[in-house]
Amino acid sequence: MRAYYFDGLPGDQRLLHDSGNPVQPEVLKSIGVLHWHIPVPADGQYDAVDAVAQERGYKNRDVITITKQGLGDLYESKLKSFYEEHMHEDEEIRYILEGSGFFDVREHPNDSWIRCQLDAGDLMVLPAGIYHRFTLDEKNIIKAMRLFKDEPKWTPHNRGEATDTNSYRLGYLKSIAVN
């Protein structure tokens, strides 16, 4: 994974938008973003991913493939909805099996976008309550394993007054507060 500050320039969301200002792993850790690089096993045995899943209490998983061909007419609208700034009330865990894409996360307290470029083998955990968004890159394909603590769910809460006071958002802010 490579992380850097988003350049904020207009243009296709699938472009790099690299400001040239890298983000160190300590910064990501300070906002609760975790990352491992676990090469995708050729034999389909995900022992290292299983170990992370067990450590973090993830009981379920599925695999999702996002492509322009696969989504057809829904492709553009789905990409736009993934790119809306939102948060979840659960951790968001993705292990990239094929392809690549970007997760943008909000740095707190300055509200800057940090772009995380993920490729095959990257496993990322976004904490519940963090504002973020997702997009494919120009290759237009990603295959990812999604891990869940309980039943699979993915409910985005778009940023606004209601999410700013959401108990999961407030819990997130408390968890990253510097004492």
Residues within the annotated binding site for Fe(2+)?
86, 88, 92, 132
Are 31 and 49 in contact, with CB atoms under 8 Å apart? no
Please list the residues that pair with 136 across neighbouring strands. Answer: 101
Residue recorded with tokens 């490579």: 2
- Which residues does the annotation place in the binding site for Ni(2+)? 86, 88, 92, 132
Binding residues: 86, 88, 92, 132
176 and 30 in contact (C-beta within 8 Å)? yes
Radius of gyration of the chain (CA): 16
Query: Which residue type does 63 have?
Result: V
Sign of CA dihedral 3, 30, 80, 21: negative
What is the token pair recorded at 43? Answer: 């034999």
Of residues 178, 156, 179, the one with CA closest to residue 169: 156
Which structure tokens are listed for 50?
A: 């299983």
CA distances from 158 to 25, 59, 130, 163 (A): 26, 26, 11, 7
